[in-house]
Chain A
Amino acid sequence: MNATPNATTTIVRHSGAYALDNYLTSGQGVKSWLLTTDHKRIGILYLWTILVFFLIAAVAAALMRIELLTPAGDLVTSETYNKLFTIHGVLMVWFFLIPSIPTVLGNFVIPMMIGARDVAFPRLNLFSWYLFVAAGALALWSLIHGGVDTGWTFYTPYSTTYANSHVISMAAGIFVAGFSSIITGINFIVTIHKMRAPGLRWFRLPLFIWALYATSLILVLATPVLAITLALMSVERLWGVGIFDPKLGGDPILFQHLFWFYSHPAVYIMILPGMGVISELITCFSRKRVFGYAWVGCSSMAIAVLGFVVWGHHMFVSSQSIYAGMIFSLLSFLVAVPSGIKVFNWTATLYKGSITFQTPMLYALGFIGLFTIGGLTGLCVATLAVDVHVHDTYFVIAHFHYIMVGGMVMAFMGGLHYWWPKITGRLYPEFWGKLAAMITFIGFNLTFFPQFLLGYLGMPRRYHAYPPEFQMLNVLSSAGASILGVGYMLPLIYFLWSLKRGRVAGPNPWRATGLEWQTGSPPPVHNFEGTPIVTASPYMYDAEADRELHMANA
């Protein structure tokens, strides 16, 4: 069997090699960007936008970690601290994590991976970015006018009755961001159904596509529930009448049901795309076909669906019925099965692979380890009795940061490095890349592992002061955060540097098999010179043939 990457695809080219004109050079000036309907440019617009929100939210986190260096609440007041963790949570969840991989990497590579010229609804795609910017402006307006102190969860009756901060503008921002998400979700689902290249059957799709399909399913079915919930909460705050108001016999627990019906699946909006990226990276850098392709693909769908029936595990101590708690606990354990399938299959893919430790691979390996820790501690907090002990403590904080930062951000960074040469046509500096990946890994663990211990020992979340005996672990955590900060700043610098000075990448620097690598870097406006025809499964890597090819070329 011919094992060169091109063997999986045939591209009908009109004439000659790749066109000189690519999507970056085909139009110049601000207007050509702000009015673009090119999925690749929209991906880059999103990248800049979420970077802004990431930096603001990171500053909030840094201030919190500085405050927590000492047991006394001395740097900021408790009110300011409340606003800090709220803005950190709101911006990181809705304005960084949820859009990160889908809108940046997803927008950029989905159409290319399936051999399409663009997404199904390019103008809607641009519209969703404008909605996102408008949403971000509302959130920033709220922040500038004093911020919100309810926590990212907006629990009633605090948010509706007692909070003296800019709850409504922040909720409005999230409401609008939700519609941006929904449009992206609809666009992706339709694109994946209707725009695949000839021969690209469902079980020939890259696993990244499966993951984003599952993500879009959640975006589309969960987000509207959040929208209506926040709308009801805002109306209740404005006019003092609403369905969560105990004065009318309303039930604040209903708010929590509605909120978590969205926000638990939202966790899978955040992690599933990361899993998709990891499947791409693991196969490419171990030069092997993925172990159990169908299982990995279908487990994404299973996680998306099961993710909808576990939300009650956030409410074990909320006075929800004990029987509901038992059911939700049991269902939560079920999510571990497809998650486990993924981890085992990635590990099996590595087995006897021809592994190279380039930067994306370092992030991918980091992801597997950190996600496993985050997932296993997830089982701890899904257990009714254990949750009573660790609920609202730093144990929970550590658990979900292992999933979201250790999982999703690692995957996002891995994916960004992996596709950077495709996006810009230039390679990032490998040495600095590896260094940043390792600094991030060390910094991350130093930041968040102590928080498991803190939480288990009983330190509650959302307080700016704590008993002196917790200081040692808090200092460790803050020190780790500063290292983590360096790990995030480095890529920012060398990515910008590489735009002008990075080595020219060529179409396929990783010798990867995906369709997106069968076209120029940066790709032409319509992605391919002709319509690709797919004739085989994805990930047709063959380490032996790679070596021969390498020798022949050398």
Chain B
Amino acid sequence: MNAIATAVVAEQFDDIEQQHSAAKLGMWIFLATEVMFFGGLFLAYTVYRFTYGHVFALASRHLDDVFGGVNTAVLLFSSLLMALAVRAAELGRRKQLVRLLLATALFGVLFMTIKAFEYRKDFVEHLVPRFDFRWDGPDAANAELFFWIYFALTGLHAIHVTVGIALILVLALLASAGKFSQNFMPVEITGLYWHFVDIVWVFLFPLLYLAGHR
């Protein structure tokens, strides 16, 4: 094995292949952990939607599906960019990699911006629990429960998006310094995380925004 190839292999591993497959496996297990982390909130959603289905449908209609739908498209597109970035990393195309990573992060920021405007609208319409929450009609308490779950789920998701953007920007920085010419695994496993965040949103969109038909 030549000196350049051994330089990127950590001392506990025999070769780069072992190191790659270990990193990938570790990330997948972490994502399974994340499924269960979100799982607690999904359980709460499921139980209360089962119990208060009618109110949840009414409350869901107060959310703006344009925000939700457009944001879904934004995240899906950023996932595409991320997948292309991983490919660029594997092929060792440094410039393309940096550009694609920056574009992925940009769409992540776009998602967060749209989300921020949406939260602002929710606030103006008095849909934030405990902050002058107003609800016309019966079962105001249960509607408040729906909005609390909405904020918890989307808030937790937003934290994940923010972490993802930060990771991708760090990757872009390192990539421009040529860090991934030998070992593209950091890009690949960050990509896995980013796609996972996308998948969570793919479920949040119909569950939160489309719970009651319009």
Pairing of A with B: yes
Report A's interface with B, CB cutoff 8 A.
116-122, 182, 185-187, 189-190, 193-195, 220-225, 227-229, 232, 235, 239-243, 247-251, 254, 257-258, 526, 531
Known: A228-B38, A248-B144, A249-B48. 17 other contacts (CB 8 A): A117-B11, A121-B26, A186-B26, A187-B26, A194-B25, A224-B40, A228-B39, A228-B41, A232-B40, A241-B130, A241-B148, A243-B44, A243-B48, A248-B145, A249-B51, A257-B43, A258-B43
A251-B47 in contact (CB<8A) = yes
CB pairs A–B below 8 angstroms (6 shown): A122-B10, A187-B26, A190-B25, A220-B29, A239-B130, A249-B145
B148-A118 in contact (CB<8A) = no
A224-B22 in contact (CB<8A) = no
Measured CA separation A22–B26 after assembly (Å): 29
Nearest CB to that of B129 among chain A residues? A241
Measured CA separation A526–B10 after assembly (Å): 13
A254-B26 in contact (CB<8A) = no
A117-B11, A189-B29, A243-B148 as given contacts; A258 in contact with B40, CB under 8 Å? yes
Q: Does B117 contact A (CB under 8 A)?
A: no
Query: Chain A contacts of B139 at CB under 8 A?
Result: 249
Report B's interface with A, CB cutoff 8 A.
10-14, 18, 21-22, 25-26, 29-30, 32-34, 36-41, 43-44, 47-48, 51-52, 129-130, 139, 141-142, 144-145, 148-149, 152
Measured CA separation A515–B149 after assembly (Å): 51
Query: Chain A contacts of B142 at CB under 8 A?
Result: 248-249
Q: Of A117, A195, A241, A257, which one neighbours B144 at CB under 8 angstroms? A: A241
A190-B26 in contact (CB<8A) = yes
A190-B22, A190-B26, A224-B33 as given contacts; A250 in contact with B12, CB under 8 Å? no
Query: Chain B contacts of A239 at CB under 8 A?
Result: 130
Top 9 closest pairs, chain A to chain B, by CB? A228-B40, A224-B37, A118-B12, A224-B36, A194-B22, A243-B44, A248-B141, A248-B145, A249-B142
Q: Of B14, B26, B149, which one neighbours A243 at CB under 8 angstroms? A: B149
Measured CA separation A118–B141 after assembly (Å): 54
A243-B12 in contact (CB<8A) = no
Measured CA separation A122–B11 after assembly (Å): 10
Nearest CB to that of B20 among chain A residues? A194
Query: Chain A contacts of B18 at CB under 8 A?
Result: 194-195
Q: Is the interface of B mostly helix, strand, loop or mixed?
A: helix
- B73 to chain A minimum Cβ distance, whole angstroms, is 28
A224-B39, A225-B36, A241-B129 as given contacts; A186 in contact with B30, CB under 8 Å? yes
Measured CA separation A194–B32 after assembly (Å): 18
A232-B40, A232-B152, A248-B142 as given contacts; A120 in contact with B12, CB under 8 Å? yes
Query: Chain A contacts of B41 at CB under 8 A?
Result: 228, 232
A223-B26 in contact (CB<8A) = no
- B39 to chain A minimum Cβ distance, whole angstroms, is 6
- B42 to chain A minimum Cβ distance, whole angstroms, is 10
Q: Of B33, B37, B40, B145, which one neighbours A186 at CB under 8 angstroms? A: B33
Query: Chain B contacts of A229 at CB under 8 A?
Result: 40
A193-B25 in contact (CB<8A) = yes
Query: Chain A contacts of B11 at CB under 8 A?
Result: 117-118, 526
Nearest CB to that of B44 among chain A residues? A243
- A258 to chain B minimum Cβ distance, whole angstroms, is 5
Measured CA separation A247–B41 after assembly (Å): 19
A194-B21, A243-B48, A249-B51 as given contacts; A221 in contact with B130, CB under 8 Å? no
A243-B29 in contact (CB<8A) = no
Nearest CB to that of B55 among chain A residues? A249
Query: Chain A contacts of B33 at CB under 8 A?
Result: 182, 186, 220-221, 223-224
A116-B12, A194-B25, A241-B144 as given contacts; A222 in contact with B36, CB under 8 Å? yes
B130-A243 in contact (CB<8A) = no
B29-A195 in contact (CB<8A) = no
B12-A190 in contact (CB<8A) = no
Query: Chain A contacts of B30 at CB under 8 A?
Result: 182, 186
